[in-house]
Structure 1
Amino acid sequence: MSLYKVAKSAVSLIFYPLYRIRVIGKENVPKHGPVIICSNHISNLDPPVVGITSPRDIYFMAKGELFDKPLLGRLLTGIRAFPVKRGMRDRNALRKGLNILEGGNTLGLFPEGTRSKTSELGKPLAGAGFFALRSNAAIVPCAIIGPYKPGSRLTVIYGEPMDMESYRARKASAKEAAEGIMNEIRILLENYNSQHASLDK
């Protein structure tokens, strides 16, 4: 069994009961072909939570400096993370991400680039839009609704894949595409707050 599978099983055993994780819309993640899962970012624990709730194995970007530590770097590589410089302007990371998608795999992104300390959505960086426009991957918006508090309910929602053809047809910028993705995440959050909040009581 790969390190990724071992880590996913171990984290699942801890996180599911600890945070009472509920997953909505898992069926919206395509079973085959390249996929980009784009999520809001409210905690440093978001990557493992998306990793264990997604039906697909995911490659994530991680801060480049983390890979400078030999042991941690090997561990991150083993769980399919790869380094990126802050701001997502790292050409090697962009190329690596595209290669992952060209191989029919799944890439996990947090368009905001950094976690929100208020849980409010921030402005997206252009990186998510770049990958969406430069690949033929299905773009799946994802919303994580906390808090990360033991015993509380943590909900992860996967929305229906976005249609990016209109963005490509009008030659939209990466920034515009990223903003469109963030808007889909915002809709997931707003719909949940208006329709499903009572389930947490």
Structure 2
Amino acid sequence: MNLYTFGKVLVKAALKPLYRFEVIGLEKFPKEGGILLCSNHIHALDPPVVGMTAPRTVHFMAKEELFKNPVLGPILPKVNAFPVKRGMSDREALRSALKILKNGEVMGLFPEGTRSTDGVLKKGLSGAGFFALRGDADVVPCAIIGPYKTFRKVKVVYGDPIDMGPFRERKASADEVTEVIMERIQTILDEYKENK
């Protein structure tokens, strides 16, 4: 058992007694090929929750500061995280992300760039569209629906993959593709939120 798989088991063991997870749409998740997995971001637990529920191994960008943490720093690379400097001008991180996608693997991204404090989906950063267009991969939208309150339900909903082929053919902009991704995430949020 590698460290990623072991970490997944540990996260499940730690979180399942605290929250009632409902995972929806796993059958929509492509079994192979490069995937850019784009989710909303409402809590610090979102990355491990996405990693725990996704049917394939997910690589994540993590802010560079976390790799300097004496506890987390040595663990993060072993669970497929790689550092990114704040902002989208980190060429090494861009190359790492594109390599993951072009190798037919899954890269997880939170296009808002930071957590939403009120749970409302914020505007996505153009980096999501950039990776979607350049990464030779389709996009899987994901919505995490909380709140993360003890013994309450947390839904993780995976939506239909977004085929990037037509966007690449007509040379769509990164901003336009990011908007499409965010609209899909919002659609899932609207469909599955608790009060419906």
Matched, 1:179 2:192: no
Where does residue 61 of structure 2 map in the other structure? 61
Where does residue 159 of structure 2 map in the other structure? 159
Whether contact under 8 Å (2:137, 2:164) holds in the other structure is: no
One-letter amino acid of the counterpart of residue 27, structure 1: E
Whether contact under 8 Å (2:19, 2:154) holds in the other structure is: yes
Where does residue 24 of structure 2 map in the other structure? 24
One-letter amino acid of the counterpart of residue 10, structure 1: L
Per mean C-alpha deviation after superposition, the further-off stretch among 160-169 and 25-34 is 160-169
Whether contact under 8 Å (1:40, 1:185) holds in the other structure is: yes
Per mean C-alpha deviation after superposition, the further-off stretch among 160-169 and 92-101 is 160-169
Whether contact under 8 Å (1:32, 1:104) holds in the other structure is: yes
Within a 5 Å distance, the mapping from 1:55-134 to structure 2 comes to: 55-134=55-134
Where does residue 51 of structure 1 map in the other structure? 51
TM-score, scaled relative to structure 2: 0.95
Supply the distance in 1 between the matched residues of 2:154 and 2:31 (Cα, whole angstroms).
24
Percent sequence identity over aligned pairs: 56
Whether contact under 8 Å (1:34, 1:137) holds in the other structure is: yes
Residue aligned with 1:147, SS: coil
How many matched pairs? 196
Whether contact under 8 Å (2:4, 2:78) holds in the other structure is: yes
Supply the distance in 2 between the matched residues of 1:115 and 1:37 (Cα, whole angstroms).
16
Whether contact under 8 Å (2:33, 2:104) holds in the other structure is: yes
Supply the distance in 2 between the matched residues of 1:169 and 1:124 (Cα, whole angstroms).
22
Where does residue 139 of structure 2 map in the other structure? 139
1:170 Cα deviation (Å)? 2.4
How well do the aligned residues superpose, as a CA RMSD in angstroms? 1.3
Q: Which ranges in structure 1 are unaligned for 5 or more consecutive residues?
A: none
Where does residue 35 of structure 1 map in the other structure? 35
1:125 Cα deviation (Å)? 0.6
One-letter amino acid of the counterpart of residue 14, structure 2: I
1:70 Cα deviation (Å)? 4.9
Whether contact under 8 Å (1:30, 1:138) holds in the other structure is: no
Where does residue 14 of structure 2 map in the other structure? 14
One-letter amino acid of the counterpart of residue 135, structure 2: S
4+ aligned runs moved over 2 Å, structure 1: 68-72
1:14 Cα deviation (Å)? 2.0
1:71 Cα deviation (Å)? 4.5
One-letter amino acid of the counterpart of residue 112, structure 1: E
1:69 Cα deviation (Å)? 3.4
1:118 Cα deviation (Å)? 0.4
One-letter amino acid of the counterpart of residue 160, structure 2: E
Residue aligned with 1:161, SS: coil
